[in-house]
């Protein structure tokens, strides 16, 4: 008799939906059906128990083929590579649990390297803006129960966060918003007339790269300088700006969601900075909150865990051991790689080979590349060592942080294939091995970069 598991968390986007129903075969090994999840979340669950999983670590041979090795051998290879590297970098963590993120921090502290997560190519600029200008935010529950104006700027939730609108923002029937969609005004600002723009009450087609100007225009209106406003700002007529500004001012509880449209374009953190300033200005008149549309289901978790460990959310330079510093542009993965400063790359819970600019991949691949990932991603295809792990949120339970920084305990749905380990166990295994090597060599953890004489065994 198939089992029905309820209240399961979805390991896809920052919505971290925790109302998924999963039907599991009577032997508990196969996922048969998925309910409530979006199309992408459903696919993750259904693919999890497919038969073509890689279940043992594999080491690249000189002819390009793979040799299957044991987990302890993989730990040994990785640990020696970390100890030998001048500046190792571990990057990813969007699709891992907080427990694994904690172990990664321990590993890089021992290995004196760089610790970075997917925010580095995603909402990193938002985090910089939060440092500079604060983050007047709320939880998604408040959005559901109270929000009467929803503004999506540079975000396309229909495609990137498919249940965001139906579960939290627009359609749900909230405590104070009993008629859901009919009581909310939706505004979308985007250079592309996206599917999300299609359901908006107001769609503002901003000129690409001119978001900052449009923010400034709204701030001018709020400060009473509408007469000075030009007839057209960033492709939007003055009349439309005045009309939309009126809606923003009259909101009882407005929420401003922003996405990659602001962080991937010219301006980066300055776009978010002025968005936060606009939110602050609006709070003089009405009640407004702002929230980043986080991509992976636990990328916010990596920011949290490392913030309380070191005080910084991403781009952590641990080359001085536990004395961390962060300086995006200097200590960020893309910049470090483009300057060829990295001599060992560990990819975990993401696919850097497919999602980094190809020049960056080329630079990173000049040196040893280790991938820790359940799937045969592009990062696994080009790796020197691929360590497969259980899928977080499906086979591995743990804590994840939703986009509004609410922690959720994810449960296990099915067991990992026999003999496999989780991200946390793999990172812990490698860290233990590094500790062992450093102890054997009698190298104190505080003496950095003096232990680089050990050469790892090549493939």
Partner 1 sequence: MTQKQTLTMITQRSIEEGIAMEKGKNSREYFNACSVIEMNELDMLRMGIEENTPVRVRSECGEVIVKAIYGIQTLSPGICHIRQGVWANQIVPGRTQSTGVPQYSGFPVCIFPAPNEKVRSARELIFQAVGMGGFTDAKNS
Q: How far apart are CA 246 and CA 181, in angstroms?
A: 20
- Per CB under 8 A, contacts with partner 1 among 97-136 are 116, 120-122, 124-125, 128
HSE, side-chain direction, 13 A CA sphere, residue 380: 20
Minimal distance, residue 316 CB to partner 1, in Å:
12
> DSSP state, 230?
-
Token pair belonging to 316: 């952590």
- Per CB under 8 A, contacts with partner 1 among 353-372 are 353-362, 365
In this chain, which of 134, 209, 237, 459 binds partner 1, going by CB under 8 A? Answer: 209
Minimal distance, residue 440 CB to partner 1, in Å:
34
In this chain, which of 35, 201, 381, 415 binds partner 1, going by CB under 8 A? Answer: 381
SS3 state at 152: strand
**Contact region for partner 1 (CB under 8 A) — 152-160, 239-247, 278-286, 305-313?**
152-160
SS3 state at 340: coil
In this chain, which of 14, 254, 301, 328 binds partner 1, going by CB under 8 A? Answer: 328
Any contact of residue 191 with partner 1 (CB under 8 A)?
yes
Any contact of residue 51 with partner 1 (CB under 8 A)?
no
SS3 state at 439: helix
Compare residues 131 and 223 and give the one whose CB is closer to partner 1. Answer: 131
* Phi, psi of 451, deg, nearest 5: -105, 30
Compare residues 155 and 438 and give the one whose CB is closer to partner 1. Answer: 155
Compare residues 142 and 190 and give the one whose CB is closer to partner 1. Answer: 190
Nearest to 381 by CA among 54, 149, 143: 54
Residues 145 and 176: beta-carbon distance below 8 Å: yes
Give the number of residues in contact with partner 1, rule: CB under 8 A: 68
- The owner of tokens 């781009």 is 315
Minimal distance, residue 349 CB to partner 1, in Å:
14
In this chain, which of 288, 314, 345, 401 binds partner 1, going by CB under 8 A? Answer: 314
Compare residues 148 and 351 and give the one whose CB is closer to partner 1. Answer: 351
Any contact of residue 39 with partner 1 (CB under 8 A)?
yes
Compare residues 38 and 107 and give the one whose CB is closer to partner 1. Answer: 38
Minimal distance, residue 346 CB to partner 1, in Å:
16
SS3 state at 330: coil
Compare residues 159 and 320 and give the one whose CB is closer to partner 1. Answer: 159
Token pair belonging to 447: 């003496």
Residues 376 and 350: beta-carbon distance below 8 Å: no
Q: How far apart are CA 345 and CA 333, in angstroms?
A: 10
Minimal distance, residue 282 CB to partner 1, in Å:
25
Minimal distance, residue 411 CB to partner 1, in Å:
20
Report the chain's terminal Cα–Cα distance, integer Å. 47
Any contact of residue 9 with partner 1 (CB under 8 A)?
no
Q: How far apart are CA 436 and CA 76, in angstroms?
A: 10
Going by C-beta distance under 8 Å and a sequence separation of 6 or more, which residues neighbour residue 398? Answer: 97, 98, 99, 100, 392, 409, 410, 424
In this chain, which of 6, 68, 195, 415 binds partner 1, going by CB under 8 A? Answer: 195
Minimal distance, residue 106 CB to partner 1, in Å:
23
Minimal distance, residue 358 CB to partner 1, in Å:
5
> What does the buried/exposed string (b/e) look like for 36-55 if buried means 16 or more CB atoms within 10 Å of the residue's CB?
bbbeebbebbbebbeeebbe
* Phi, psi of 57, deg, nearest 5: -60, 150
Q: How far apart are CA 254 and CA 133, in angstroms?
A: 19
Q: How far apart are CA 239 and CA 11, in angstroms?
A: 43
Any contact of residue 205 with partner 1 (CB under 8 A)?
yes
Minimal distance, residue 160 CB to partner 1, in Å:
4
Nearest to 342 by CA among 34, 87, 84, 158: 87
**Contact region for partner 1 (CB under 8 A) — 25-33, 59-67, 79-87, 165-173?**
59-67
Compare residues 144 and 161 and give the one whose CB is closer to partner 1. Answer: 161
Positions that interact with partner 1 (CB under 8 A): 12, 38-40, 43-44, 47, 54, 63-66, 116, 120-122, 124-125, 128, 156, 158-160, 162, 191-195, 205, 208-209, 260-261, 263-266, 268-269, 314-315, 328-330, 332-335, 338, 351, 353-362, 365, 375-378, 381-382
């Amino acid at each position: 008799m198939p089992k029905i598991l309820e209240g399961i968390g979805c390991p896809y986007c920052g919505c971290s939906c925790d109302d998924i129903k999963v039907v599991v075969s009577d032997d508990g090994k196969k996922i048969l059906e998925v309910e409530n999840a979006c199309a992408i979340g459903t696919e993750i669950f259904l693919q999890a128990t497919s038969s073509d999983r890689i279940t043992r670590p594999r080491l690249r041979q000189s002819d390009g083929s793979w040799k299957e090795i044991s987990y302890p051998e993989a730990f040994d290879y990785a640990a020696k590579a970390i100890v030998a590297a001048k500046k190792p970098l571990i990057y990813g963590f969007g699709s891992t649990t907080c427990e694994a993120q904690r172990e990664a921090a321990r590993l890089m502290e021992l290995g004196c390297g760089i610790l970075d997560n997917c925010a580095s190519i995603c909402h990193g600029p938002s985090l910089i803006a939060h440092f500079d200008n604060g983050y007047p935010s709320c939880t998604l529950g408040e959005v559901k129960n109270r929000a009467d104006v929803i503004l999506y700027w540079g975000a396309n939730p229909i495609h990137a966060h498919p249940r965001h609108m139906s579960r939290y923002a627009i359609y749900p029937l909230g405590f104070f918003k009993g008629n859901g969609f009919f009581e909310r005004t939706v505004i979308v600002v985007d250079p592309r007339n996206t599917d999300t723009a299609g359901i908006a009450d107001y769609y503002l087609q901003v000129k690409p790269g001119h978001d900052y100007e449009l923010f400034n225009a709204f701030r001018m209106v709020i400060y009473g300088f509408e007469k000075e406003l030009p007839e057209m700002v960033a492709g939007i007529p003055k009349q439309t700006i005045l009309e939309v500004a009126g809606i923003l001012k009259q909101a009882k509880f407005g929420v401003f969601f922003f996405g990659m449209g602001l962080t991937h374009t010219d301006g980066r953190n300055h776009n978010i900075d002025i968005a936060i300033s606009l939110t602050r200005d609006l709070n003089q008149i009405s009640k407004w909150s702002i929230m980043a549309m986080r991509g992976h289901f636990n990328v916010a978790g990596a920011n949290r865990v490392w913030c309380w460990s070191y005080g910084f959310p991403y781009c952590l330079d641990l080359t001085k051991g536990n004395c961390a510093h962060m300086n995006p542009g200097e200590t960020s993965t893309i910049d470090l790689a483009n300057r060829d400063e990295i001599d060992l790359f560990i990819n975990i819970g993401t696919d850097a080979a497919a999602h980094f600019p190809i020049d960056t991949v080329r630079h990173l691949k000049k040196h040893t590349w280790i991938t820790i990932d359940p799937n045969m991603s592009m990062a696994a295809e080009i790796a020197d060592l691929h360590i497969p792990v259980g899928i977080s949120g499906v086979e591995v339970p743990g804590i994840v942080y939703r986009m509004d920084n609410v922690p959720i305990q994810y449960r296990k749905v099915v067991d990992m294939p026999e003999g496999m380990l989780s991200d946390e166990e793999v990172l812990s295994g490698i860290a233990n091995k590094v500790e062992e090597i450093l102890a054997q060599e009698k190298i104190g953890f505080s003496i950095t970069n003096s232990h680089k004489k050990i050469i790892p065994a090549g493939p």
